[in-house]
Each structure stands twice: as structure tokens, then as C-alpha cells.
Amino acid sequence: MTNDFPTYRGNMEYFCLGCEERFDIGELHYTCPRCGGVFLLEDTWFDSLAENPPVYWKSLFDKRAATKTTSLRGIFRFYELMAPILEPQDIVYLGEGNTPVIEASPALSKILGTPMAFKNDGQNPSASFKDRGMACAFSFLKSLVREKNWDSVLTVCASTGDTSAAAAQYAAYVGHPLTSVVILPQGKVTPAQLSQPLGSGAIVLEVPGVFDDCMKVVEHLADNYRVALLNSKNAWRILGQESYAFEVAQWYDWDTYRKAVFVPVGNAGNITAVMSGFLKLQRLGVIPSLPRIFGVQSAHADPVFRFYREPDPAKRAYEPVKVIPSVAQAAMIGNPVSFPRVKYFAEQYEKIGGPGSFQVIQVEEQEIMDAMLLANRHGHISCTQGGECLAGLIRAKEAGLIETSELAILDATAHSLKFSGFQEMYFTNSFPAEYGVTPKPGLVNKPELVITPEEKAALTPEEYTVKAAEKVVARLGLAGKN
């Protein structure tokens, strides 16, 4: 069912943020062949969309929220704003996008003293926000494969775990002629994350070191060999991830006034996409004002925070950092590939949104763990990166950067289950010293064995049931029914 597929087609080009050269999208480009800079993808006809008034776009996107046309059900509900060159037959839909916005539980709200909601991007198909970008990148790749009649394509990415999970899943779904290869830092992705590309049948290659080491290997491959790169260096990924911003605006009926969006920053693709998305909506008049953006980084991997810590733009200098192990492991990146994109959009953002509309906050490892556990014991499903956002909100409130009349929307970028190992380390007080995390007794929880296997062995099955029940009764102090 594709009869309601949009007729608008844009004129998309790669735009280099280094030398400002433009390139045709008929070729796969990751970095500028002229200067090595990173790309954005731009629809040079975007402003023609403003011939339709904001109300047209709002009602169109709202109507599409109910469509059963799968190609428009996910992130491509916002087709005209993202990649309006794709044909419906190429669009890959695995149920990504439309993730729920969950208000802080009443008790958590009281503790925080400021309105907050999580947008649970861990409820995407591979359990992280990466699916948004992959849906777009794979749809474009599918269109190229069809047009060029390629009979074999190796898709490659470096990853802290979630990009590889998403890339492997989408490649497995699309199938021939794609083969997925993921390159991971050995021992630096969680067991759940590692199980994902393995289960999807990808070729999983590990190298010693951290993500930044893997990224260099993958960049070397992309520069010298015929591979399709799926890291966010691939600008099609950024476009898909803009859907997060569109969904936030839509959820709040296109009213982003007095809203603050918190995003954990690693390779900096996500915060780039979120800013770009809100700027597009603002350009079309779909949102009257920009929500504020707060990037959050752990003190163990904080190059973007360090850059913006200097208030005078003329004195700011970017320097990669050497990362220290972090519980926000998925964002543990010392030299973010998308840093030039952040700079580009942050400048535009502040020009329109005014001072304070874009900020970066630094948090400690301890704060990240405590915040994640606090959220989850109030019914949320935050990963450590979502905990990083909450820690950022608490810091912002303490520093007077956010007012209690402002609603904070926090990106819980992955599902808590992917990162349960860090919870386990907290509960068993087994964090290696370099993390600098000490469990707070009030947040620790452990299973309690009510009856030992030896006791069980000495009892008949009937006696065992009664004995085990008695132990539970004693543990809970249960009163009888009469």
C-alpha cells in the first residue's frame, strides 16, 4: 500500500563542512575527496517546502502517524524533511521510531523537583536510537544497489556496541547482496551488545583498544577499499536520526517553547542530528521557537564539554582526549567524528535560539550510575547513557541552568538491559577502581536465597514447598488471612 507516498522529490547534495564543496549523491562518500572534511546532506530545494504553511506540515505529519503504509510508518513519516529522494520500494522499515515519551513517575518527579520525561529510544528494534539512522542509511544503500546493480556489498562499521547491533540487523534483513562486518573494541562492548551482531550473522572482528582505535581502522578501510561505511561519518545516518527531534516536537503538538532536550554525546552524531532536526522545523515555521539543547558527557570522555567550557568562542580549541573507562561506555569516545558538525549547528542554534540555547554539561561516573538506578527504580528503562542525561539534568538544575518551568526531555538512547552489567557491578561493589564508583546502599539490590539446595535435598517435595513458603513468610513478615 504505497498510494499515499509523497510526490515531492528534493535535490540532495553532499556539502563539505571543511571546504564547502558540494558533491553529487550518486556516489558513496564519507569524507570530502578534496579536503577530507565531514559531510552534511542538504536538500537544496528545502526552502520550497515553505510554500506550504506550517499548518499543512503539522497536519500531514499528524495524519501519517496513523498510516499503515509501512514505508511511511517509521522515521519516514517526515520524508520531505529527511531524504526525499528515496523511492518507496527502497525504504527499509523494521519498526524504528515512534518511541514513547514517558513522564517521570510521580515520586521521581518529586525527588527531581523539575519536570522531566524520558524518550525511550531503547524501544527501537535493536534497542537503541541507532536504528533511526540505519533505516535511512540502508534505504539509501538499497537504492544505490538497485540503480548500480551491485552484486556484492560489504557494509562496515566500528562501534561501541549499538551501531554494530543496528547495522548487523538491518543488513541481515535486507539480505543479498549485503554482508555485514562490524569492528569492535575487544572487551569494550557489553555481552548483550556483542550477542546482537553475532545473532544477526554478521562477521564480528575484534581489535584491542577503544572505539577510537576501531574508527581509525574503519576509516582506513573506507578510504582504500570498496566498502559501505555505516558509522555516522556516513551522512545518511545523521538524516535518519533527525527524526528524534521531529518526534519530540510532534509529541508536544509542535510546541517546543520552554522545553530542554538532553542528549548524551559520544561520537556526536546524535546531538548533530537533533540540532539539525529542530533547525529544519524552525525554518519551516512548524515550531515557533527552538527547544534548548543540553549535551552531556562523562568526565572520562569529554572533548566536546572541554571545547565549550571556554566561553569566548575565539579562544576555544578542540583537542581529542584519551578516554578513561566509563559506565556510559557507548559514549566513551575521545575524538568524536562529528565534532565539526556540532560546531556548525551549535553556531546556527545559538544565533537563532540565543545564548544558552546550546550547552554541554559534564558529569561524574558516580552521578551517572546513581541517576540510572534512581530512574529505573521508579519504573523507567534507562541505560547508562540515559542515566548520563539524568545526571546532566540534576547538574543543570543545581547550577541554575534550567528553570522549574522548563520541561526536560531526556534521551534514554538504549534499553537498560544492554547495560545490566554495570548495574551488576554496582550491586556487587565490583567496579574496577578506575571507574571511581562506590555503591550507595539505598540503591543496591540483590537476590536472596530463601532455602539452600542442601535443605531442599533433605525434604520431601511437599515438605519443601511448605518450608520454602515458611521462609518467604518469615522474610516478609506476612500476617495470616484471619
Nearest distance, CB of residue 120 and ligand F0G, angstroms: 12
Restricting to residues 119-138, name those near ligand F0G by CB under 6 A. 128, 130
Work out which of 97, 269, 277, 303 binds ligand F0G, going by CB under 6 A.
269
Pairing of strands 22-24, 228-229: unpaired
Using the 8-state DSSP alphabet, how is residue 31 labeled? B
Restricting to residues 219-248, name those near ligand F0G by CB under 6 A. 232
Shorter beta-carbon distance to ligand F0G: residue 139 or 270: 270
Shorter beta-carbon distance to ligand F0G: residue 84 or 266: 266
Pairing of strands 116-120, 407-412: parallel
DSSP string, 272-337: HHHHHHHHHHHHTTSSSSPPEEEEEEETTS-HHHHHHHSS-GGG-----------SSGGG--SS-T
Number of residues near ligand F0G (by CB under 6 A): 22
Shorter beta-carbon distance to ligand F0G: residue 53 or 320: 320
One-letter amino acid of 220: H
Contact 298, 264 (CB under 8 A): no
Shorter beta-carbon distance to ligand F0G: residue 189 or 437: 189
Restricting to residues 162-201, name those near ligand F0G by CB under 6 A. 162-163
Is residue 125 classed exposed, middle or buried when 0-12, 13-18 and 19+ CB atoms within 10 A define those classes?
Answer: buried
Examine residue 413 and tell whether it contacts ligand F0G (CB under 6 A): yes
Work out which of 75, 194, 229, 414 binds ligand F0G, going by CB under 6 A.
414
Q: Return the axis-axis angle of helices 420-427 and 191-199, rounded to nearest 10°.
A: 160
Q: Distance between CA 173 and CA 297 in Å, rounded?
A: 33
Instruction: Using the rule CB under 6 A, give the single segment among 57-65, 264-272, 364-372, 436-444 that binds ligand F0G.
Output: 264-272
One-letter amino acid of 46: F
Nearest distance, CB of residue 176 and ligand F0G, angstroms: 25
Instruction: Using the rule CB under 6 A, give the single segment among 79-87, 155-163, 284-292, 446-454 that binds ligand F0G.
Output: 155-163
Torsion of the alpha carbons at 144, 147, 151 and 152, rounded to the nearest 10:
-10
Work out which of 136, 281, 383, 390 binds ligand F0G, going by CB under 6 A.
383
Instruction: Using the rule CB under 6 A, give the single segment among 64-72, 160-168, 221-229, 277-285 that binds ligand F0G.
Output: 160-168
Work out which of 123, 143, 169, 270 binds ligand F0G, going by CB under 6 A.
270
DSSP string, 136-198: HHHHHHHHHHHHHT-S-EEEEEE-SSHHHHHHHHHHHHH-TTEEEEEEEETT-S-HHHHHHHH
Work out which of 267, 298, 357, 366 binds ligand F0G, going by CB under 6 A.
267
Examine residue 265 and tell whether it contacts ligand F0G (CB under 6 A): yes
Binding site for ligand F0G (CB under 6 A): 128, 130, 159-163, 232, 264-271, 330-331, 383, 385, 413-414
